[in-house]
Structure formats: C-alpha cells, structure tokens
A and B are shown apart, each in its own frame.
Chain A
Amino acid sequence: MNDKLKIAVDLHIHTALSPCGDSEMTPGNIVGMAVVNGLSAIAITDHNISYNAQAAVEIGKELGIVVIPGMELETAEQIHVVCLFPDCDKLAKFQNAIDNVLPNIPNKKEIFGSQLIYNSDDEIVGEHEGMLLVSTTITIDDALLLAEKFGGIAYPAHVDRDSYSVLTTLGTLPYDYKYDFVEISCVCDIEEICNRYPELKKYKLMRASDAHYIDKLQEANTFIEVDTVSPHGIIEALKNGGVISAV
C-alpha cells in the first residue's frame, strides 16, 4: 500500500537577493533551470530574507513546478538552518519575527554584492539595503521551534561544511533534535563525514545544491516521498520520514 510519490528536489537555492548570489540568479532563471534539470520541487532560501520567494512561487505555478518559500537563517551560534513554509503568508510572519533579531547594519555592496528584489516578470523592483550576511540573535533551538510555530520546518544546512555548520559549531546536533534527517552539501563525502561524526549514521542525509550560480542547481539526484506534491505536502514529508537518504 505504497501510494506515495517519489519526487526529485533541490531545497536550498539562493537568488540574487543574497549578497553572494550571482546576478543571473533571478527567480525566472532559477525556476526555469529547475524544470530543465527535471526537478519536481525547489526551495528559495536567501540569507535571513525572503522577498524573492513570492515571485518564484508564482513563476513555479506557471511552469508547473513546486516552489517552496523559505529562508536560510543564520542563528546566534553562526549556524545556517534552512527554513521552509507552506505559503508566502506564513513565511512573511516568520520574516517579521526574524527582522526583530537581525542586526541593523547597512550592506557594503562593493564587498559583499548587491541584494536585488524581483517581481514575477523577472524585473528588478528594489534592492535590500540591510546587511544580510550576519548572525541573527535567535538560537538554533529557538529557530527550529519558531519555524514550526508558523507552520514550517527548520533543519541544519550543509552539516558537512567547515563553516556555518551545526556539527562544526556545536560539535554534534542540537541536544533534542527531532527530525530524522539533516542537509548535506552537494560535494559531501558521506563516508568521511560519518566516520568523523558517527552519530550521523542514525540520520538520513539529504543533498541540496546551496546554489549561488545558475549552473550549480542540482540534477534529479535527491528524492523524497510525499503524499501530495505541494509545499505543505513536502514539509509534512520532511517532518515524517519522507527523505530518501543519499548514499
């Protein structure tokens, strides 16, 4: 009685709104490339911000691919967590909460890059002036709870990396981490990371591109099993064991 659908996903992608995101990372280009790569769903996850998610969700509807509105949050411990939401309204509420814990520092775009906001016609409609490559003051434990409170999910990003990774920063996963998976980077050597952190063998590993350039989006190599192909269905699958572990 397995009537679940197995779909290919890439749930960690930056747009040109992230200072480090390439200028070709417009919502239209990203969603189009995801279709070309044979993905069923992607997530838009800019650093501490979410203003390009709406445009990408709308373009996704036109092109027949699910776009999950999200954010890559930097916690007080300098850990990156991917936060995904069922719709843009819930993400907007989460964004409001994050705005209150984000230091108010102007971006230096000559150093860090521009932070461009697009509409669903892929036109630049604004530029975010605040510095986004910074730690918020919310702890990882509170961030995970906060995302759930707004109907979403948050989980540690690229745990195999040397920086901004929960394993590097805290030495292990948060004490009462409740999901059965974590994200790994597209270049992760699974055997090596599991030898270094044997506790990881208890978790499923989900690859994501963390793409900042259009040619870095993932091919159809990462799968989850869902009841429904929608942001809500995918978030429920992530919460309830739907990730098929990378090997």
Chain B
Amino acid sequence: MTVNEIADKLKMKVLAGDGNTQVKGFYACDLLSWVISHAQTGNMWLTIMNNLNVIAVASLTDIACVVVAEGVEIDEAVINRAREKEITLVSSELPAAEIILKAYELMK
C-alpha cells in the first residue's frame, strides 16, 4: 500500500510530499540519532518529534514517510522543509502504536 492509501483509511493528513511511495514496514522512535542508524528503506516512521532535523533524518534514511503522531502540532518551517526536500510528511491524531496496528491490518 502507498502512504496515501493508508493515510486515507486512517484519516491522517498528508502535509507534504506526493505520498505515492509504497510502505514497507514501520519504525517508531523519537531519538533521531537512533533513527538514522536503524530505520529501513521504505519504512513508515512514526514520531512525536516536531523539529527541522526530522526532515534531515528522513532524507538520510530513505524512508517512505514521516508520521507525526498524537496530534502534535507541526511547525510551518518543518512542513516547508519537507516540501522542499520532497519528503512525505503526515499528521495524525492517533498514537503511534494504534497507527501501526491499524495500518498492519490494512496491509495484510
């Protein structure tokens, strides 16, 4: 499934990027230094971190998208940077675990 398909089903907002990338697995972590070395290509990365460096890490790791969970408000600067770097950035009201469980069911 693509990011857009999952976002649509779970009522998540795609704030930047085209969302056409296929999601291959999930990765949830808020320590960016850890994400850099552990996230896998194609992962949907779930975090509550609202910082420009999130976009830098997303660029480095070749993930499918970033989902900022739990309704954390995302700075305009972060959204703009995601657009600039063509990173798919998604916002959700749900906690990370719930997003993963629901998306996993959809993808089965």
Contacts and interface: CB of A to CB of B under 8 A. Distances in A.
Taking chain B's interface residues, is the majority helix, strand, or loop, or is none over half, making it mixed?
helix
A174 B50 CA distance: 12
Contacts, number: 39
Contact of B52 (A76, A168, A175): A175
Contacts of B35: 171
A228 interface: no
A175 B50 CA distance: 13
| Nearest 9 Cβ contacts at the A-B interface | A171-B32, A175-B52, A170-B53, A171-B33, A168-B33, A170-B32, A171-B36, A171-B57, A171-B53
Interface of B: 30-36, 49-53, 56-57
B56 A172 contact: yes
B51 A139 contact: yes
Contacts of B57: 171
B32 A169 contact: yes
Contact of B56 (A76, A169, A171): A171
A76 B31 CA distance: 13
A77 B51 contact: yes
Nearest to A197: B33
A175 B33 CA distance: 15
Nearest to B72: A76
A134 B79 CA distance: 28
Nearest to B35: A171
Interface string A158-174: 00000000011111101
6 contacts: A170-B33, A170-B53, A171-B33, A172-B53, A172-B56, A174-B53
A93 B57 CA distance: 36
A168 B35 CA distance: 10
